[in-house]
Structure formats: C-alpha cells, structure tokens
Amino acid sequence: MTDTANASTEKNDFIRHIIREDLAAQKYEQIVTRFPPEPNGYLHLGHVKSICLNFGVAEEFGGICHLRYDDTNPTAEKQDYIDNIKKDVKWLGFDWVGEARHASSYFDQLYKWAVQLIEQGDAYVDLQTPEQIKDNRGSFAEPGKPSPQRDASVEENLQRFADMRNGKYAEGEAVLRAKIDMASPNMNLRDPIIYRVMHQSHHQTGDAWCIYPMYDFAHPLSDAIEGITHSICTLEFEDHRPFYEWVVDKIGKKGGIETPPHQYEFSRLNVDHTLTSKRKLKQLVDEGVVSGWDDPRMPTVAGMRRRGYTPEGLRDFCDRVGVAKADGVVDFRLLEFSIRQSLETTTARGMAVLNPLKVTITNFNDAVAQWEDLKAEGVNARWDDAQQTLWLTQPKHPNVDMGEREIPFTETIYIDQGDYELEPPKGYKRLSPEKTEIRLRNTYCLAVTEHILDEAGNVVELKATIDPTTLGKNPEGRKVKGVIHWVSASQGVPATVRLYEQLFAVEDPSSVSDVHEALNLNSLTELAAVVEPSLANSDAGTRFQFEREGYFIADSEEHSNDKPVFNQIVSLRDTFKPG
C-alpha cells in the first residue's frame, strides 16, 4: 500500500494529505471513493475535476473508486444521461470497480433506515403544506416553528409513513422529516425533509415507489452502504456535513454501519467564460442555441471530445489546477495550454488553406521539368504526367517515426488570403506588392509577378513564378525571408473548417440571469477551406496540426474523405504561461 502511495507523483493537496495520514494510522485497509453524478444531464468540465480527484486518489493510494448514480429524483433523469456518463468517464481514462451503482438500488434499505429513525424518535411525518413548511423554517434571525405533527407518537408516524409509501397521500401532502433542531443556526439542521411523495415512475425502479428519499438523506447512507471511506464533494456541501454526520451516526451500528464514511469538501472548478451547470447547459441544448450536448463549443465532456480536446490534456489541466479549499476562477488559457501541450508531439502535420487565394504558377512546367536534377541532393518526389503533378514526400512530423505523406504540387495552388496584403502593416513578413518572394513550405520559393483585383479592389488571384533551383534548398546569392503554407488547387480537397471562439462573451456567464445575454454571437465561423489529401484521407476523430493555423480534428460525426469537416481544437500558441 505505501509503495503505491510513494509511487504517486508529488501531488500533495489537503485531501491527499488526509488520506496519507489515515493510511499511516491504519484507519482503513483500503480507501474507497466514489464519483456520484445525478443522471440529469451530460458531464461537464467541473465534473472532470471531480472525476480526476476521486478516481485519481483511488489509483494513487491503491484504493478503489465507484461510479454511483445519485438517482433519487426521477423527474429530470434519463437513460441517455446514464449511458453518456459512463462513456465520458471511460474516455477520460478511468474505470470504476464493479458495476456502476445506483442510489435507487438502495431504496429498500433506505426505507428501512427511515423506519429506524422513526422508531428511535428521530423522524416524523409532517402534514403541513409545502408553503407552511417553508414559512415555519424561520430565518437566520429567527428560529423555526415546530410542525403540529412534530411530537406525534412513534406509532402514528409509522402509520403515516406507511401510508405515504402506499400512495395514500398526494404530492405535497406529507413528507418525512428528521427531528433535529428547529432553532439550529444551520438551516440544514432545522428538521430537514428526508422523504417526499412523488407519484412518478423511476428509470430504474419503475413504479415500485411513490416516495423518494432526498439527496441529503440518500447520499451519506449510500456512501455507508458502499463502504466509502472518503466522500469528496464540493464546498457548497460544507453546511450539509453536520446532517451527513447526524444521519450516519443515528443509523449507526444498530443499522449495520460499521465504518462511518466521512465527507470532505474542496472548491468547485470555475473557469472564466465557461458555464458548469447541467441545468443551464441543458437549456442551451433544449433551445437549440447549440447543436447538442456534444456541440464542440460546449464545456461538456462530449463537447470537448468532439472539439478534439484530449483526455491527457484534461487530466493535465486538473493536475495543474490542483485541489484546494478556496474558491477561485481558473484562467481558460490554462486549459488551452494543457490541451495544446498534449497535441504537440502526437499530431501529424499537414497544410490547409482556410481562406483560399488562387495562385497560378506561370513557369510551372519548365521549372518542374528540372526537379530530377535535384534528386541527388535528397529531394524525395515523383512526377505524375497524367496528373501533371509533382508528388513531394515529406515527414508527417519532425518526429519522423510518425511516417510520411505525399503532397501534390501543381500549376495552380492556393495560399491564404492573409498571406498577401496590398497594404501590409509594419513588420509584415509575408507577401505584398513590395515583398514579392517567399518560400512555399515543403517545396520551391515563389515570386509573385502580378496581382489581379476584382471591381471592389480585392486581390482575387496572383500570378507567380517558382525558382527551379530551390526545391528543398535555399536560393543562391539571396535570402528569402518567410515561409507560407499552400495547397494544390487541383489535388487539394475542399473542406469545411470550423473555427471557434468562447461560447460566452461575459467572463462569468453564471452571473447573468438570462443565459442568452451572456452568449458570444461569433462563437462559430464556418470556412470553405482546401486541405492537402493526407488530411482529407483521414478517419473521423483524427487530430492534426494545420501548419501555421492550429490544431484541428476530423469531426467525429460529419467528416468523410470526400467531404472533410474539421473542428479547430486550439490555436497554435498563446503568450499565456502557466504559473
């Protein structure tokens, strides 16, 4: 056990500190954690942090982690959410021990324990209306008022609870409450509701129940059933901990709880320009503001996967964020930094022109006819006469182990519109009427001889020549500054390329009550691009670095070799440095 702990990296946050001490004191044989999502939506970036923490510490300390659906509220829960949560956790690189569990499979036991509380005089059925219950809870300044049923006898309470269970009450007519303290300064201890009537079928238990336990009751007891040692949750549950401990203690050994679980709170992950609330994200899906839970702009795991984010990058991000007790907002650029880092050495490169500008090479045939003279100098190419194409063989990555690709070079090519400026800004290193020569990446140097304008004065085509001596080497007697990418017009493949900005324009979208007002209306741009064949001929889900443009992924749903579709993952670089 200690070996496993020592083998872990240097992570040493307060949770790991507690676990180390518990293990050193031999408090537990093995630690058991759980990730407990409610299946009422898709997982988001905030959940990734919780997953990395719960599964991560289990792995590091030779323990185990359960996946448990906290499915005590059937109204908003669905099988689709259950399935996708599993998929997301696995994709992040984690696995749970045993079957995925459901709080709903503990309903029988939870019911028995509720009866135990009634028998002990620790719970009662309240027949007040929901409004009365709310009004009588008091405020921070004022103690609550006891329910008229608070001191009913055990027998009366048992009968009423059985009646609740047997469907004799409508929703809102009766609830079971823990009997604690109506004057407690902690509102969560003012006789919290632990069971409510809901005449609703449940996705797991069907119509077996018309009463459902409240989260605050079901959660600690589900932890106890599963032998969870460290129940790790977010800070907003700190005020619920006294009730957590109360329930576990009251059921106690008598109810069969031998080792009580303990709750520990850490701060939620908040990232600027990002929403981490299933409810609000669901609203965007339901209203069609985004194309679905997996829209690449969504901070959901499904969205980030489709966007091309990597599990390694997301885990690295969580490691960098760390685990603390103080709330804060993490810079979104740190996430992009982690993602970018995970892509640098793993993605093949290729050329894609996002805003094509046609270039006709007027000396193409003459110049290319001489390419064989350069063979002796290591130029790796082949001429296809039928296609009038020079196929250049180039590595896919500076790490040559990643293999090679063939790039077609033809008489007409595209370069990016941004690489030819009529009125270049100061310091501009690409093409303009003054600076006419540049290197085309992976092939010859190119010199512009003429630009053609449309009626509005926009450059619509360039005429140019190539220097036949510069295939794979520098020209003699002059220096050519700057390198640009290009794609063959006849052999390149038209592709849809989607660029993204933040989905939200405001820094803290959760602070805006109407989510629509927080949206960035420019979050999606679709371009008619042209890509080299090696990019088009890829499987959906393949990630690339488009040279000079950024990292992109062949869309998992819409990409095909004939009609390629790429999503921008992240830009190539940023000035941001992680602290």
- Residues that are catalytic: 38, 268, 278
Task: Determine the number of helices (DSSP H) and then strands (DSSP E) in the chain.
Answer: 15, 26
Identify any residues that bridge with 177 across adjacent strands, giving them in sequence order: 124, 193
Closer by beta carbon to ligand ATP, 81 or else 486 = 81
Site string for Mg ion, 422-461 (x = CB under 5 A): ----------------------------------------
Q: Does 220 bind ligand ATP (CB under 6 A)?
A: no
Closer by beta carbon to ligand ATP, 287 or else 327 = 327
Q: Does 49 bind ligand ATP (CB under 6 A)?
A: yes
Per the structure block, which two tokens stand in for 376?
């002796």
Which partner in Mg ion, ligand ATP, none is near 47 (CB below 5 to 8 A by kind)?
A: ligand ATP
Look at the alpha carbons of 215, 217, 218, 222 in this order and tell me if their dihedral is positive or negative: positive
Q: Does 74 bind ligand ATP (CB under 6 A)?
A: no
Which partner in ligand ATP, Mg ion, none is near 269 (CB below 5 to 8 A by kind)?
A: ligand ATP
Q: Does 310 bind ligand ATP (CB under 6 A)?
A: no
Identify any residues that bridge with 202 across adjacent strands, giving them in sequence order: 206
Closest CA to 262 of 22, 7, 9: 22
Closer by beta carbon to ligand ATP, 234 or else 360 = 234
Alpha helix ranges (H) inside 184-300 = 215-225, 241-251, 278-286
Site string for ligand ATP, 231-250 (x = CB under 6 A): --xx----------------
Closest CA to 174 of 117, 133, 144, 134: 133
Q: Does 224 bind ligand ATP (CB under 6 A)?
A: no
> Segment near ligand ATP (CB under 6 A), from 23-31, 132-140, 246-254, 270-278?
270-278
Site for Mg ion in 399-428 (CB under 5 A): none
> Segment near Mg ion (CB under 5 A), from 35-43, 237-245, 326-334, 527-535?
35-43
Select from 15, 42, 50, 347 the one that contacts ligand ATP (CB under 6 A).
50
Per the structure block, which two tokens stand in for 541?
């889900």
Q: Does 213 bind ligand ATP (CB under 6 A)?
A: no
Provide, rounded to whole angstroms, the least separation between the CB of residue 284 and Mg ion: 18
Query: What ranges make up the beta strands (E) of 321-432?
Result: 348-350, 352-353, 356-361, 381-384, 389-395, 404-409, 412-416
Closer by beta carbon to ligand ATP, 53 or else 570 = 53
Select from 277, 362, 417, 561 the one that contacts ligand ATP (CB under 6 A).
277
| CA atoms in the 13 A half-sphere facing the CB of 336 | 21
Is residue 528 classed as helix, strand or coil in its secondary structure?
Answer: strand
Q: Does 396 bind ligand ATP (CB under 6 A)?
A: no
Q: Does 502 bind ligand ATP (CB under 6 A)?
A: no
Closer by beta carbon to Mg ion, 38 or else 163 = 38
Is residue 551 classed as helix, strand or coil in its secondary structure?
Answer: strand
Select from 16, 33, 46, 446 the one that contacts ligand ATP (CB under 6 A).
46
Per the structure block, which two tokens stand in for 258?
């031998």
Cα(94)–Cα(54) distance, integer angstroms: 10
Cα(552)–Cα(529) distance, integer angstroms: 13
> Segment near ligand ATP (CB under 6 A), from 74-82, 268-276, 291-299, 375-383?
268-276
Select from 23, 269, 330, 530 the one that contacts ligand ATP (CB under 6 A).
269
Instruction: Please spell the DSSP secondary structure of 109-130, one letter per residue.
Output: HHHHHHHHHHHTTSEEEE-S-H
With left for phi above 0 and alpha for psi between -120 and 50, is residue 249 left, alpha or beta?
alpha
- Asked whether 142 and 88 are in contact (CB, 8 A), the reply is no
Rounded (10°) angle between helices 311-321 and 45-60: 80
User: Which residues make up the interface to ligand ATP (CB under 6 A)?
Assistant: 36-38, 46-47, 49-50, 70, 233-234, 268-269, 276-278
Binding site for Mg ion (CB under 5 A): 38
